[in-house]
Chain A
Amino acid sequence: MISLGQLALDSDTAFTLLPELVMLSGLLAIILIPNLGDASFRIPLTNLRVPILIGGSRFEATNDPRMPNRIATLAFSVAFAASLLMIDSSSEEVGGMLRSDAFSRLFSAMFIGALLLVSAASTHRIPAKQNARAPTDHDSEATASRKISILMDNRRQVDFYILLIMVGLGMSLMAMSTNLFMLVVCIELASLSTYVLVAFHKEEDVGGEAGAKYFIVGSAASAVGIYGMSLLYLWSGDLALESLATKWAEMEGIDPFAAFGVGLMMVAFGFKVSAAPFHLAAPDAYSGASSPISGLLATASKAMGFVALFRVLVMITVPDYGEQAPWFLMLAIIAVITMSWGNLAALTSENPKRMLAYSSVAHAGYMLAAISVIGSGLAGEEGTRLILIAITFHLAVLVLFKMGAFLVLSLLETDGSGHRMEDLHGLGKREPLIAGSMFLFMLSLAGVPPLSGFLSKLLMVNGIVSSSAGTGNSSATDVYSWMDTVDPVFWLAAAIVVNSALSLFYYLRLSLVMFFEEPASSSRLKSASSLRMAIMACAILTVLCGIGPVSEWLVSLVSTSIDSLVG
């Protein structure tokens, strides 16, 4: 293992870690730049003054409260572009615990892309205003409280974007980890930052409460997971993924240490992907956090959990063709419960954010069902690859339409609404373009062709069906006799389809109220240009990634990255 000192000296290594280094410099810049001032040091005995920049009275330009947002957005943009460009077949080891390859870079692009959207949206969600003044004695109570909230928003700009960048660093490094220990540490780095982000609006009761709950339940789950990891260490003596995989393959029968270790780690990762019954804190957290942060939890944070599942379940414990992994049944049961629970609960949610939270639970269920098929031993090498492509593609496009839906809610939140279904009433009349985009997002979430949500769901169901349908009696003359012979895994696909049908109800209900109910107010929403641009970008990409050359490009990108994981 090389030391950190060596790491910094090596320019090749530095290039390999470019996105992370960009984010790190952004982090430092956010701390330093607002503090730049005109302080200078007079060389003793002379009249020469050397500016030392830190201290004194701050410069007008650098002390602009909008500065952290700009720096963070810039850093995320550069890091996003860098990650995207680094998705190729090359693979670089860094420091023995990290590896930059197509798989990790695809996911870091996904994470950073989501953070970029959050950062763009937060420009208006947590606005920074120039010329903020402290309230005076003459102000009425309302004016005073408004001025105070502006001042508070200005003050905490730096905190917010530092936390965002920490999330980015944690997630991005996590995707690169080749060591279970490193993986868990990075997850915790990202998670702790998200706990704070959820509770960020501490002056509102609901935010603080949600953050606390999310933190407590998350810590409990993490504790169990880390205990599971320690069991794995006891069994193997090494936490490097490769050596764990070799050890697992050589294992005779099933070692209880190993099995329980993996099982307990499922609890921690299950919490991250919000699988039932570990998801319960998620709806509270989603509705308590500001909408961009909820979007972050529903997309990047979830994708992080799935990377962890890929690393443990697919890299370490993937069964040979025809053998069943010990976690198969467990995961299949969790998957079906998760998707049904999510969809059922979403059905009667009156808060659109909670509804989206439950829909996110349901989507986790679909993807878990697909992973469990890998454990069934029916998939084979090609089938495994198909399913992994499907899940990764789904995670990638979720960043577009799930995040897009949350961004629309953010736009409502800038006007102080967005927590009740009534706030969406008549949005089609007030903001046709925004409502249209929201409609697209809902259709895509439901999986309506030709949107990207359909393609990803199709790929998943296809992966499951093509793995399991071969077990059916090919000489069966009617459906029933074929159904008797087909492997039960087939029913996972059926469960996905039935659940999708159920989910259509609440997705369309939301769309319905947007277009057919009368709005409470006919005023337009805040102009919030960068937020609107982000919503439009999500909407356009939601369509483009479902059909045509862009979707093919994305699928080929995903398949390159999956090749670097399993190949």
Chain B
Amino acid sequence: MGENKSETGLLVYIIPFLAIVPLMQNQGWESSDSAILIVAVPFVTFPVILVAGQLYNGHETWKDKLKEGGILALGALGTSLMAAVWLVYDYFDELPDFGDQHSIVQWLEWVSFDLLQSDYTLTSSKNILGVGVWVDSITLMLLFVATFLCFLICWFSLGYMNTDPINEDRNHRFYGEFVLFALGMFGMVLADNFLWLFIFWEIMGLCSYLLIGFYYWKESAAYAAKKAFLTTRVGDVFLMVGLFILYDIYGSLEFSVIFHDPSLHGTVDSTQLFWALLMMFIGAVGKSAQFPLHVWLPDAMEGPTPVSALIHAATMVNAGLYLVARMVPFVDVGHHGVPGLEDLGLIVAYVGGITAFMAAAIAFVQNDIKKVLAYSTMSQLAYIFTGLGSALWFYNNDEHHAAVVVFGASMFHLFNHAMAKGMLFMASGSVIHEVHHAHDHMHHGKDGEHGHDFDPQDMRNMGGLASKMPVTATAMMFGSMSIIGIPLIGGFWSKEGIIAETWLAALEHEPLMIGPAILVLLTAGMTGFYMSRMWFMTFAGEPKNEVVNHVHEETPWIKEPLIILTVITAFGGFAFALLGATDYLSSAYDYSGHLHLKKSTLLDSIIYKLEYAFLPENQNLRVIGWITILLSFIAGPIFAARVHGGELSAGESASPAVSWLVSLSGKFGSQDVTSLSESDLAEALENRLYFDDIYEGVLAKTVVPFAAFTAWFDRNVIDGVIKQIESNSVSGSLQVRALTTGSARDYILMTAVGMLSIIVLVWGIS
């Protein structure tokens, strides 16, 4: 297979790409100028990959040296990453002052319409087509997350996609669309107005459709792609309506115009604004797969695994969160916000709470390793929504301190989740890939016997992989710990903050907040269970299928991103948290600097952080914090270990940390859950609580007849009119052309007729 030979030499080919940014720096560009490269280089690269792929398909150099475009994609994303890092580096300490922000650079202005100045023209919308770069701490964080993860996922894809014969000669499509997808996210994060945000948002929608349906000949993949596209479209329509209302209020969609004074000196009607924001929120719900528009996300697993990683960690789903985070200035009553929008915060928090709980519950019964991760994504995003909802509520009630804390925690959770989930998906991809290969290897040429009913994604076919795939097992362990929120690991810091502040809102301010508060607390324990369950089922215990014994972890390109992300997840989250990541992330909307640089020295700050996480001054919060730790750290995992844990089979050994965990999991004894797994509830969960069925039933009764009617209308009425126009035009055309006889005499006659008509007309006037 040639998989084993080192291919790092191919990285030579990305050097020209990586030279772009230093070259520009040499030319005296500022980092803000080079921000255009983040979008422009992928934008140029993606058509090149697609076209070159068509032209050179199967060509040796294209296939072996350029990995069917993968190297080009990697280079382009590398350039984006470098430019993004440069931007982050430059602006990290010099964020523009809150409330006085403007775009740091303007890229494009439609041809200036100065000429057209007049009351009836396009002048008033002059700026609507411009696009520039907007920088604050949220932008920087998301930009880094997106560029960094896209780069790593692309790296991973080189191993994952190019060694699978099913993808052969089609990978250029994958890489081209991958790059377009990535640039959609980069552009959306950078855009300095809602219109361009929406445009890039839609680019992502398109690419999600294309990539989920990458295996379009599989009916399920085609169906999943359609489902994802249509479901997010529902949200997009609402988002569009929201933007219309917003434009109606402010006469502009530029951040700098709107955020300068969202209340317009107190004249904005809060009801109107509420509806605008609610509509935009529904758009975010669709994009981030929250209840009730969540149905597309699990099906989206039909795409190749790197696509899942891309959608779940680096791009798509974060877009919705980003949009909601951008709503803060509207509600921040301490700073020109509009009062009376508490309900928005409540709605966001409730949607988050319900989704978190529901998704975690469904994840209990999933046996497909990627499906578990999909529901976990939904659930974790829901945490962030809950946090943002509380933040919006606090901001709107001028509880500034709490608002800033929970906002920062939410944003930090986004960061942690993206890093961990990106790595988890790649690790699951690694598992699937190797199991699939082992299976192919075993049953080489005997497809008829086992080939069809073997599912390499089914965890019931795994078990005991810890010794076979040490890197993957370690990576997944840390990723799961971060998602669960094991103390001191990445996700702990942010999740703790979200849960505690939601409870704070419920206990001390708004009784209605108790709903989301309870739900997210329960979910913490459930997360502990289903993530541990996934890990134990896959890596611990004895192999449940002989295939496992043939698994080897040796595909190139796959390990490196896993290791990098493991390090970030294991130590990065801890370090960032202690260094004040939450404060930094909330600084975008912390105009009075409540938290920023509160502690004089680094050590003080670290001690404060630790103390605040484990022993906050507020007694209620302290209790909640410990309950969370208890549920997620102790109760969930132990229960999972009892059900699915177990020692490895004799003679197998894993790396130290992993083997300790595996043997620990075998110590809790085992528990039989057959009766539970056969209950009605389990069946309902397996059927995803029947949401898909209900939606399909409703659609079949309403949309399908309506679609049939519009198809009829289109065919007969609209096409009929067009065809009538066409045939009339054609007959008119023939008549007119008959006048062109080809005889010069007739032409002169017509000239004379024209002359006479002119004379008559002039006569009539004078």
Contacts and interface: CB of A to CB of B under 8 A. Distances in A.
Top 10 nearest A-B pairs by Cβ distance? A254-B766, A347-B733, A466-B118, A263-B762, A280-B747, A277-B750, A348-B733, A330-B761, A213-B744, A326-B765
Given A254-B766, A260-B762, A344-B736, A386 B120 contact: no
B762 A270 contact: no
B115 A216 contact: no
Contacts of B750: 277-278, 280
A216 B111 contact: no
B753 to A, nearest CB: 6
B675 interface: no
B758 A267 contact: yes
A289 interface: no
A253 B766 CA distance: 8
A254 B763 CA distance: 10
Contacts of A327: 762
B736 A263 contact: no
B25 interface: no
B120 A470 contact: yes
B754 A278 contact: yes
A29 interface: no
Given A212-B744, A213-B744, A462 B754 contact: no
* Of listed A347, A386, A548, residue having the most chain B CB within 10 A: A347
Counting contact residues on chain A (CB < 8 A from B), the size range is 35 or more
B125 interface: no
Contacts of A548: 111
Nearest to B120: A469
Contacts of A505: 726, 729
B118 A345 contact: no
Given A270-B754, A277-B753, A278-B750, A344 B729 contact: yes
Contacts of B744: 212-213, 216-217, 281
Contacts of B110: 450, 547
B48 to A, nearest CB: 14
B740 interface: yes
A224 B752 CA distance: 9
Contacts of A348: 730, 733-734, 737
A450 B730 CA distance: 29
A377 B92 CA distance: 60
Contacts of A448: none
A462 B120 CA distance: 9
B116 interface: yes
B751 interface: yes
A345 B736 contact: yes
B20 to A, nearest CB: 21
Interface string A247-260: 00000011110011
A254 B111 contact: no
A563 B102 CA distance: 37
Contacts of A271: 751
Interface of A: 212-213, 216-217, 220-221, 224, 253-256, 259-260, 262-264, 266-267, 270-271, 276-278, 280-281, 283-284, 326-327, 329-330, 333-334, 341, 344-349, 382, 386, 389, 450, 455, 459, 462, 465-466, 469-470, 502, 505, 546-548, 551-552, 555, 559
A466 B111 contact: no
A548 B107 CA distance: 11
B112 interface: yes
A284 B742 contact: yes
A217 B762 contact: no
Interface residues of B, number: 37
29 contacts: A212-B744, A213-B744, A213-B747, A216-B744, A220-B751, A224-B751, A254-B766, A259-B766, A263-B759, A277-B751, A278-B751, A280-B739, A280-B740, A326-B762, A330-B758, A344-B732, A344-B733, A345-B733, A345-B737, A346-B733, A347-B733, A349-B737, A386-B118, A450-B110, A462-B121, A466-B119, A469-B120, A547-B111, A559-B115
Contacts of B739: 280
Contacts of A266: 758
* Of listed B111, B118, B737, B759, residue having the most chain A CB within 10 A: B111
* Of listed A254, A263, A333, residue having the most chain B CB within 10 A: A263
A347 B730 contact: yes
Contact of A267 (B726, B730, B751): B751
A324 to B, nearest CB: 8
Nearest to B734: A348
B762 A459 contact: no
B708 interface: no
Nearest to A256: B766
Given A277-B750, A347-B733, 8 more contacts: A217-B751, A253-B766, A262-B762, A280-B747, A347-B729, A389-B115, A462-B116, A547-B110
Nearest to B762: A263
Nearest to B751: A278
Contacts of B751: 217, 220-221, 224, 267, 271, 277-278, 280
Contacts of B761: 263, 329-330, 333
A502 to B, nearest CB: 7
A287 to B, nearest CB: 11
B623 interface: no
B740 A267 contact: no
B746 interface: yes
A457 to B, nearest CB: 13
A263 B740 CA distance: 24
A348 B755 CA distance: 28
Contacts of B673: none
A270 to B, nearest CB: 7
A555 B762 contact: no
Given A213-B744, A466-B120, A263 B733 contact: no
Nearest to B752: A220
Nearest to A219: B748
B733 A217 contact: no
Given A278-B754, A284-B742, A345-B736, A260 B759 contact: yes
Contact of B121 (A326, A330, A466, A552): A466
A216 B758 CA distance: 21
A355 to B, nearest CB: 11
A472 B29 CA distance: 51
B161 to A, nearest CB: 28
B106 to A, nearest CB: 13
A343 B746 CA distance: 21
Nearest to A449: B110
Contacts of A470: 119-120
A469 to B, nearest CB: 5
Contacts of B753: 277
Nearest to A389: B115
Given A278-B750, A551-B111, A459 B759 contact: no
A144 to B, nearest CB: 33
Contacts of B737: 345, 348-349
Contacts of A455: 111
A69 to B, nearest CB: 32
B112 A280 contact: no
A212 B742 CA distance: 12
Given A224-B755, A333-B761, A555 B111 contact: yes
A270 B754 CA distance: 10
Contacts of B765: 254, 259, 326, 329
Nearest to A213: B744
A10 to B, nearest CB: 38
A551 B112 CA distance: 9
Contacts of B748: 216-217, 220
Interface string B105-149: 000001110011011111000000000000000000000000000
A184 to B, nearest CB: 17
Contacts of A559: 115
Contacts of B118: 382, 386, 462, 466
